[in-house]
């Protein structure tokens, strides 16, 4: 009975993480299209939502990197996964609150690593996996996107520099519809799978599924719906940061950030080096701005974003560890996870009420 309650809480937390992943990462897909006027905000978000939903169905191979490559799989229990998800959700909400684009994948990995360490000590961490699969790609991704977008926009300006601005601008805006679509599809394929993987692992750990099982249809559908709903709800704060606060971009820069970003993500995926969509797109936006004029980039905003990237793993790990610590105070049954869930919901509710009392949500149109 207790294990079934924990399983339900893990599934609920995983779907909640999927929802925050959707609205947190909406900005990666739509921010540049909205800020250049390539698409109306609601249309861009609705399209991104649909493509994220579709992307979740494209591939169903379970992405269990979290369990297999960064922590000892044998040490993972549903309670560790639950506490890790709480760490990831909390960090996603904190960065959303401050309008900072950060990697949801790193938040999930950090949360699970933190809760696993709190449960079994540092020996469960697979240092090689953490370094090779997470930390080094985290350094390479934004730099690669920065350079690729910078070189790309330089070439683009050379090619179309003497043409009529109206045709050029319209052309790149049409292009952004395509590049934004590819990004949304890639995001749905990548990120919805993480939730499917987490839920499937919990079902296997609970004995509800056999070892090596693929995610059941209801898990795929629920994950797709959660990420699509999160995307549709739109994380306006982060959209504003990515779309207007790093640089004031033209349509060519918007296309370059998305086009070069999508190409970088898909090429890296092909070679088995998963990169963070958030890091790639924001690195690309900075590169497209810096190539035009170094001072075009608001380096203060860019610095805040980089600080959030650096803090994501340790902060989510710390919250995950604390969440696990609190659950273990109540023993190994379901009481701990229930208490943590209730406390988390209360904290989220209080944050939303506080935000509502301080004024209307930040929107791109407002400024």
Cα(180)–Cα(173) distance, rounded to whole angstroms? Answer: 10
The site for other proteins, by CB under 8 A, has a size of 52
Site string for other proteins, 277-316 (x = CB under 8 A): ----------------------------------------
**String of DSSP letters for 169-204:** HHHHHHHHHHHHHHHHHHHHHHHHHHHHHHHHHHHH
* Residues 165-224 within binding reach of other proteins (CB under 8 A): 167-168, 171-172, 175, 178-179, 182, 185-186, 189
Distance in Å, CB of 38 to other proteins, minimum: 13
Whole-number Å distance between alpha carbons of 81 and 85: 6
Contact 87, 325 (CB under 8 A): no
Please tell me the distance from the alpha carbon of residue 138 to that of residue 152, in angstroms, as a whole number. 22
Residue 125 DSSP label: B
Of 152, 195, 223, 242, the one binding other proteins (CB under 8 A) is 152
x/- map, 105-144, other proteins, by CB under 8 A = ----------------------xx--xx---x---x---x
Q: Which stretch binds other proteins (CB under 8 A): 13-21, 213-221, 258-266, 300-308?
A: 258-266
Distances (CA, A) of 267 to 261, 273, 319: 10, 9, 33
Q: Does 228 bind other proteins (CB under 8 A)?
A: no
The two tokens of residue 178 are: 């395509």
Distance from first CA to last CA of the chain, Å, rounded?
51
Q: Which is nearer to other proteins, 5 or 60 (CB)?
A: 60
Q: Please give the residue ranges that form the binding site for other proteins (CB under 8 A).
A: 55, 58-59, 61, 127-128, 131-132, 136, 140, 144-145, 147-149, 151-153, 155-156, 159-160, 163-164, 167-168, 171-172, 175, 178-179, 182, 185-186, 189, 252, 255-256, 259-264, 266-273
């Amino acid at each position: 009975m207790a294990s079934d309650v924990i399983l339900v809480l893990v599934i609920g937390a995983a779907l909640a993480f999927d929802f925050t992943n959707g609205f947190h990462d909406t900005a990666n897909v739509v921010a540049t299209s909205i800020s250049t006027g390539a698409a109306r905000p609601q249309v861009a978000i609705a399209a991104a939502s649909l493509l994220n939903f579709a992307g979740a169905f494209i591939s169903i191979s379970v992405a269990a990197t979290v369990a297999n490559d960064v922590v000892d799989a044998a040490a993972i229990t549903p309670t560790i996964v639950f506490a890790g998800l709480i760490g990831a959700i909390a960090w996603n909400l904190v960065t959303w609150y401050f309008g900072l684009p950060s990697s949801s994948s790193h938040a999930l990995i950090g949360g699970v690593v933190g809760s696993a360490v709190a449960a079994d000590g540092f020996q469960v961490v697979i240092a090689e996996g953490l370094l090779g699969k997470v930390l080094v790609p985290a350094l390479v991704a934004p730099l690669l996107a920065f350079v690729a977008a910078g070189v790309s926009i330089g070439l683009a300006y050379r090619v179309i520099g003497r043409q009529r601005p109206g045709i050029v601008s319209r052309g790149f805006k049409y292009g952004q519809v395509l590049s934004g679509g590819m990004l949304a599809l890639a995001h749905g394929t990548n990120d919805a799978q993480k939730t499917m993987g987490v839920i499937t692992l919990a079902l296997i750990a609970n004995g509800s599924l056999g070892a090596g099982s693929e995610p059941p249809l209801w898990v795929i559908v629920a994950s797709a719906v959660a990420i699509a709903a999160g995307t549709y709800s739109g994380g306006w704060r982060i959209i504003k940061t990515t779309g207007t606060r790093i640089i004031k971009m033209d349509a060519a820069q918007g296309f370059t950030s998305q086009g070069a970003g999508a190409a970088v993500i898909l090429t890296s995926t092909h070679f088995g080096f998963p990169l963070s969509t958030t890091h790639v797109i924001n690195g690309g936006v900075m590169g497209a701005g810096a190539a035009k004029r170094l001072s075009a980039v608001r380096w203060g905003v860019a610095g805040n974003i980089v600080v959030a990237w650096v803090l994501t793993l340790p902060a989510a790990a710390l919250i995950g560890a604390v969440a696990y610590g609190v659950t273990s105070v109540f023993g190994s049954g379901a009481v701990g996870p229930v208490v943590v869930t209730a406390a988390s919901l209360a904290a989220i509710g209080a944050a939303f009420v506080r935000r509502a009392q301080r004024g209307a949500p930040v929107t791109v149109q407002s400024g």
